[in-house]
Amino acid sequence: MSLRSGFARLLRKQADAALQVPKPGHSVALVGAPLSRGQKRRGVEHGPGAIRGAGLTQRLLGLGCRVYDFGDLNFTQVPNDELYNNLVKYPRSVGLASQVLADAVSGAVAAGHSCVTIGGDHSLALGAISGHTRQCPHLCVIWVDAHADINTPLTTQSGNLHGQPVSFLLRELQDKMPQLPGFSWLKPCLSAPDIVYIGLRDVDPAEYYILKNYDIQYFSMRDIDRLGIQKVMEKTFEHLMGRRQRPVHLSFDIDAFDPSLAPATGTPVLGGLTYREGMYIAEEIHNTGMLSAIDLVEVNPLLGASQEEVKATASLAVDVIATCFGQTREGAHTVFDELPTPSSPDESESEEQVRI
Ligand SMILES: [Mn+2]
């Protein structure tokens, strides 16, 4: 290589660097939340391990994120955790775990991270969102799920708390909420206009009543068929951020996807999101620049019929999270500033050596 051309290239690189505004990568906190008492199936507590095993950290590092993995939270099982009202299961265990998670999410966001909570069942969202609102009281929630998860402890038919987290968070519902053991720490922190659902297709009668009577915005799978996912996202942001930009909490249940894509989950429902619709949702949320926290829940490695099904489900979870942090289908997410040319001095030199 001639000295002159090498020096010129160095100067050019320095000039380029000076022109580019340094783009700080996201700082991402990973919090494993192996919470499983919000539902009855064994295995969802291994969700964090499966999602990490599918390469989450590497993918985020590849996107230029700084990743701080806080490991899995330690949830103590509360002994003698009896049914509430002869129906609601493990209230004290879920309440206590949610309290621990709320502190973790609040701490991570206060430290300047975007917080990714990997579950675990969806009851954890009440802790994650509650903790997030301590730092960002004006946040909004995008809840991507086959289910509305908005039963109250008095309307639930299954007694599983993973079908109820939203009811604990909404101010408007508080006169319908009994005081559950384990939940005295929790204050409602969302109003009905602060949340939008996407992907619904299995909604209980009482949940439907709540959605309609409290004016909660939702886009069912039928709405996605009718409007297309592009319009759905446009309307979602118009509803949540029409007046002002605000931090976004994405609560993503893997069962929002069609069971053919995400089979390893506890309550699959036919007719879910396609891969492309799921990625579009995540891309658009990234593009707002307002994403502040994610829950990725209900990956259950014990429910796959094969290792391939488990891997596919966990990889899908990683794709959603990576897309939320800037992975695009067009590529160009990492800096690549120069193509090698055959005439460059390095190349011709080595060619000469080969000829000799
Ligand atoms: Mn859910």
* Ligand 1 centroid to residue 159 C-alpha, Å: 14
Q: Determine whether the annotation assigns residue 333 to a binding site.
A: no
* Ligand 1 centroid to residue 294 C-alpha, Å: 13
pLDDT in tens, 18-60: 444 344 578 999 999 999 999 999 999 999 999 999 999 999 9
Residues with a catalytic annotation lie at 122, 145, 147, 149, 162, 253, 255, 298
> Quick check: 14 pLDDT over 60?
no
User: Residue 237 is which amino acid?
Assistant: F
Q: Is 327 helix (H, G, I), strand (E, B) or coil?
A: coil
Cα-based distances in Å from 215 to 234, 239, 245, 323? 19, 12, 21, 30
* Ligand 1 centroid to residue 220 C-alpha, Å: 14
* Ligand 1 centroid to residue 191 C-alpha, Å: 19
Q: Determine whether the annotation assigns residue 122 to a binding site.
A: yes
**Separation between Cα atoms, residue 162 and residue 126, nearest integer Å:** 9
Q: Is 336 helix (H, G, I), strand (E, B) or coil?
A: coil
Average pLDDT over residues 112-121: 98
User: φ and ψ at 188, to 5 degrees?
Assistant: -60, 140
Angle between helices 307-324 and 275-288 (to 10 degrees): 30
Give residue 71's region: left, alpha or beta (phi > 0; psi -120 to 50): left
Q: Determine whether the annotation assigns residue 337 to a binding site.
A: no
> Quick check: 285 pLDDT over 50?
yes
pLDDT in tens, 250-276: 999 999 999 999 999 999 999 999 999
The protein residues having their C-beta less than 5 angstroms from ligand 1 (an ion) are 122, 145, 149, 253
Number of domains in the chain: 1
80: containing domain: 3-355
Q: Determine whether the annotation assigns residue 149 to a binding site.
A: yes
Beta strand extents in the chain (DSSP E only): 27-33, 66-72, 114-119, 140-144, 195-200, 217-220, 248-253, 291-297
Average pLDDT over residues 339-349: 72
> Quick check: 355 pLDDT over 60?
no
> Quick check: 207 pLDDT over 70?
yes
Q: Determine whether the annotation assigns residue 194 to a binding site.
A: no
Residue 311, domain CATH: 3.40.800.10
> Quick check: 76 pLDDT over 50?
yes
> Quick check: 142 pLDDT over 50?
yes
